[in-house]
Amino acid sequence: MLFPPVGLEYVATSAKGCVERITLLDLRYETEISDTDKLISLISKDVDIICVTIGWDRQFSEICHLLNRMPANIPLVVGGYKATEKVEELFKLCHTIDIIVRGEGEETIRDILNGLNLKDIPGISYRENGKIIHNANRPFPDINTLESPDRSLRHNKYPLSINGIQIANLTFDSVLSARGCPFDCKFCTFSLNPLGQKRNYVCRNVESVVNEIEKLEAGIVLFSDDNLFAIPKRAEEICDLIIKRKIKKRFLAQARIEIAKHPRLLEKMVKAGFKALLIGIESPHNWILNQLNKGFDQDTVRKSFAVLNKFPIFYNGYFIYGNIGETEQEMLYIGKFAKEIGIDAITCNKLRIEKFSPLKKIAEETPGYHVTERGELYSDMFSHAKLKKIGKKIKGTFYTPYRYVKILWKNIFIVKFFSPAEIISLFLTAPRIIISMIAKAQQKHKKQPA
Ligand code: B12
Ligand code: SF4
C-alpha cells in the first residue's frame, strides 16, 4: 500500500476535460466503502462510467467477483498490465465488462469518453452481439505529450504503515521519467508489454521530470522507470537540477550494474538524495547470464560491486532461480554469491515465462520442462514445491540475524535513510507494531481450519 496506482492516475488525468467529474478511488484505502454494498450504492447514485485498473495477479478472483457485482447499466472499462495480459479470460469471467483497454491507456480513454465509434478505437477489445472484437493495437503515445498524474485527485497520502500504524510520518510517491528500456534481456516482462510489443526507450525532458518531483508532497520517491540510468548523462542532468533547486527528498530507483562505470554520476546521486538502488543481477553463473541475454558476466558483477560499495547507497539485488537447466547446487550458490559481492539485500524470484517471452521456445524444446498457463516454469526435476523450498534455502543462507543488524546499521549510519527524529519515532512505535503483528498472527491462526 506504499505506492499510488500511477497507471490509473495517468489515465484519470488524461480523462480530464472529457467528463464533468472524476472520482479516483484507491480501494485499499477507502475504508468507508470497503463494504461492497456501500460501494455499489455510491456508484449507482453518481457514476456514468466505471474505469478499473488490474495491475497484477494478486486477488485476481476477488477482483473478478467485485466486477461482476457492478451495475449492468453502467459501462465498465478495464485496463492495466494484467487486464491486457488476460483479455479473453476477463471477458469470460466478468460478464459486466464492456471494454478492455490494452496497453497504455491515456489516448484510448479519451477516444472512449469522447464517444468515438468503438470499431474506430485502436487498442481496445469489446463485446458486440455476444462476440468479443479485438481492434488493432494502438501505437505508443509520445510521452512528452502526456500530462503527469494529477495528484489532487487523490484522497490519501501513501504513508509508511504496518497494520495500520503509521511510522515516522514517512510518505511515498512515484515518478515515471521514461518508458521502455533499451536492453533486450530474454526473460524480461518489463520492457515487453503483454501484447508482445517492445516499448522503445523514450524519456521525458529533464526539466518536466524535476518540475514534477518539486511539486510532490511525499518525502520518499520511487522512480518507476525500468532503468533510470539508461542514458547516464541524462540521469546526471536530473541529479544536477535536483541539487540546484535544493529539493530535499529521498529517492529509490531501478538500475543495471553498468552504473558502476559512472562514479561521477554516483557521487551526484548521493548529493541529490538517492538512497537505494534496485539492481537486476539475475544469476551468478555465466551460462545463465548468457541464456538470459543479460549482457554481463560474473566477473563484471564482482568488479561493479567493488565500485558501488564505496558509495553510501543501499543495494538490493534481484536474482532469478529455477532457470532452464539450472541445478540445485547452482541455485543455492546465489545466497553465497550475494554475500561475496557485499550486496545489502536480495530478492529471489522463480523464472517466469510469459506469453511472448523469447525463452518460451527454449523451455518448450527442453525435455522435462513445462510452462503453466500462468507463466510459471517447472520441470520433472524441480516441481513448484521443490523450487519454493530452494528459494527459502537461498534466502536462509543470506538473511541471517547478523544480516538484519547490518541492514539496520547501513540504513541508519551509512545511507542515513532515516533522520534522527524518525529513528526515535521508529523505536517508539516498535512495541505497538510488534503487538499488532502478534495479534494478527493469532487471528490468522484461529481462522485456519483444524
Ligand atoms: C514500478 C512498479 C512497481 C512499484 C509500484 C509503484 C507504483 N506507483 O505503482 C512497486 C515496487 C510497489 C511494485 C510492486 C509490485 N509489482 Co510491480 N511493477 C512496476 C513497474 C516496473 C512499472 C509500473 C509502472 O509504473 N508503469 C507505468 C504506468 C504508466 O503503466 P501501467 O501501470 O501499466 O499503466 C498504463 C496501462 O496499463 C494502462 N492502464 C492501467 N490501468 C488502467 C485502467 C484503465 C481504466 C485504462 C483505460 C487503462 C489503464 O494505462 C496506463 C497508462 O499508460 C512494472 C513493470 C512495467 N514496466 O510495467 C512492474 C509490474 C507491473 N509489477 C509486477 C508485479 C508482479 C508486482 C508485485 C506483485 C511484485 C511482488 N511479487 O510483490 C508487486 C505488487 C504490489 C501490490 N500493490 O500488490 C509485474 C506484473 C506482472 C503480472 N503479470 O502480473 C510487472 C509488470 C513487472 C513484471 N513483469 O514482473 N511494482
Ligand atoms: S535491463 Fe532490466 S528492464 Fe531492461 S530489458 Fe533487461 S531486465 Fe528488462
For ligand 1, say whether the CB of 105 is within 6 Å of any of its atoms: yes
- Nearest-CA neighbor of 304 among 336, 275, 254, 266? 266
Rounded distance, CA 119 to CA 97, Å? 17
Let me know whether 342 and 404 are in one domain: yes
Domain boundary among 99, 115, 143: 143
pTM score, whole prediction: 0.93
Do 122 and 199 fall within a single domain?
A: no
Establish if 427 belongs to a structural domain. Answer: no
Mutational pocket test of ligand 2: of 177, 187, 188, the residue with most ligand atoms within 8 Å of the beta carbon: 188
Mutate to test the pocket of ligand 2, among 228, 254, 256, 301 (most ligand atoms within 8 A of CB): 256
Between helices 232-244 and 206-215, what is the axis angle to 10°? 40
- Same domain assignment for residues 181 and 206: yes
CATH number at residue 60: 3.40.50.280
| C-alpha 278: how far from chain center | 12
CA of 294 to the centre of ligand 2 (A): 8
Residue 39 · residue 196 · CB < 8 Å? no
Residue 118 near residue 98 (C-beta atoms within 8 A): no
Only one residue has cell 466478468, namely: 94
Residues 243 and 389 in one domain: yes
Q: What is the pLDDT of residue 304?
A: 98
* Per-residue pLDDT at 448: 65
Q: Are residues 63 and 167 in the same domain?
A: no
- Ligand that lies nearest to the alpha carbon of residue 255, given by its number in the listed order: 2
136: three-class secondary structure by DSSP: coil
Ligand 2, atom 8: nearest CA belongs to which residue?
Answer: 188
Distance CA 283, CA 346 (A): 12
Q: What is the DSSP letter of 285?
A: -
| Residue-level pLDDT at 303 | 98
Q: What domain range includes position 392?
A: 157-420
Helix, strand, or coil here: 345? strand
What ranges make up the beta strands (E) of 150-198? 159-162, 165-175, 178-179
Task: Let me know if residue 445 belongs to a domain.
Answer: no
Positions of the chain with pLDDT lower than 70, given as ranges: 190-192, 447-450
Residue 292: its pLDDT value, please?
A: 96
Non-local CB neighbours of 103 within 8 Å, separated by 6+ positions: 84, 123, 137, 138, 140, 193, 195, 197
CB 53 within 8 A of CB 83: yes
Tell me the best of 193, 227, 279, 294 to mutate to test the pocket of ligand 2, counting ligand atoms within 8 Å of each CB and taking the most.
227
Put residue 306 in one of left, alpha, beta given phi > 0 → left and psi -120 to 50 → alpha.
Answer: alpha
Q: Are 335 and 321 in contact (CB under 8 A)?
A: no
Return the pLDDT at 217.
Answer: 95
Among the candidates 89, 115, 143, a domain finishes at 143
The answer to whether residue 188 sits within a structural domain is yes
Q: Are residue 175 and residue 138 in the same domain, yes or no?
A: no
One-letter amino acid identity for 360?
K
- For position 210, which CATH number holds? 3.80.30.20
Grid cell of 150 as nine digits: 494529477
pLDDT value, residue 447: 67
Grid look-up 495491475 returns 55
Q: Do 121 and 108 contact (CB within 8 A), yes or no?
A: yes
Phi-psi region of 395 (alpha: psi -120 to 50; beta: other; left: phi over 0): alpha
Render pLDDT for 303-361 as a digit per residue (tens, 0 to 9): 999 999 999 999 999 999 999 999 999 999 999 999 999 999 999 999 999 888 889 98
> Is residue 196 within 8 Å of residue 155, measured between CB atoms?
no
- Shared domain check, 164 and 132: no
Q: Which residues contact 337 (CB under 8 A, 6 or more apart)?
A: 284, 298
Total domains present in the chain:
2
Tell me how far the alpha carbon of residue 272 lies from the centroid of ligand 1, in angstroms. Answer: 26
**Residue 33 falls inside a structural domain:** yes
Residue for cell digits 514517512?
Answer: 170
Q: How far apart are CA 394 and CA 335, in angstroms?
A: 5
> How far is residue 37's CA from residue 433's CA, in Å, rounded to a whole number?
32
Domain co-membership, 68 together with 169: no
Round to whole Å and give the CA distance between 151 and 4: 10
CA of 55, closest atom in ligand 1: 61
